[in-house]
Structure 1
Amino acid sequence: MDELEFILPVRLVLEEVAFLRLQKHKDLQVLGKLEGRIEAIREAADRGSVSDVNEADQSFHEMVMTECSGSSQAIRLWRLVMPRVRMLFNMLTPMHESLNAVAKEHEILLEAVRSGSRILLQSELEKHITSQPLAFLRDWSNAHPEGHGL
């Protein structure tokens, strides 16, 4: 868990810059593509496929990074932390109240982008990328005290 407490804030910093750039430029083409990724999350959730939900979830965030960060170095850094985050997704996604809740979280992120409120967007990103996964992880760790390397 210590490693994730380090990695998730790094991911947050990288994605926050990209999301804020998207908010500033309001690129309708990118927003449309992101809505498509949310629809893919929803469809995977309706099929009950955790792995497809996770794939579409990661695709959503990768699209934000590649389309909006404006920095090849930021993309490389993001890709360095994502394998560990992906392992976390595989474990924690089923802990959501439903798989459709994952789609709703991403809808909330796009609503925050569209709102124009930097503070709202930063708050929703922190919740989505850092505090919620860490809370799920604490719950999982309490239920599995043996930890298995987390």
Structure 2
Amino acid sequence: MDNFLRRGGLEVPEPVRRFLQGESDFSLRIEQYQEGDTLVVRADLPGIDPETDVDISIVDDTLHIDARREEDPERMDKKGYRSELRYGERSRSIPLPRGVNQDGVVATYEDGVLELRIQLPEQSEPQTTKVRVVRTGGRGANPAPGAPGN
């Protein structure tokens, strides 16, 4: 498809070209696991500048990662240019346990991999409360203690 577009001299916007080439999934792919009381989230982001091309935030117990990778226009104009690399914007939102402290998040970038380590809040033991069911009306029903008619 790319050769057809280039040979035809058509100037096709980048998002349209990528869609025509079958790249319709713009979400950021991640790997996620827990190590002790730390949640680890990793994403392959080769060829980016982590200081300018990635935005990371936590809003309402949701981790948001937005990353962009720009194609070099100088290379695109070179004879025989072909690229199968992914360019453009990718994003991902990941739900976090309630109470995650933003100060407990550390982001590193090494060898094209963004890694986030998120300190998980202490989880208290879930409390169980028994709820008593009171039978009302109907055949064989006993009115609840203190109910009218007792």
Whether these two folds match at TM > 0.5 is no
Higher relative contact order (CA 8 A, sep 6+): 1
Higher helix share: 1
Higher strand share: 2
TM-score, structure 2 as length reference = 0.30
Radius of gyration: which is bigger?
A: 2
TM-score, structure 1 as length reference = 0.30
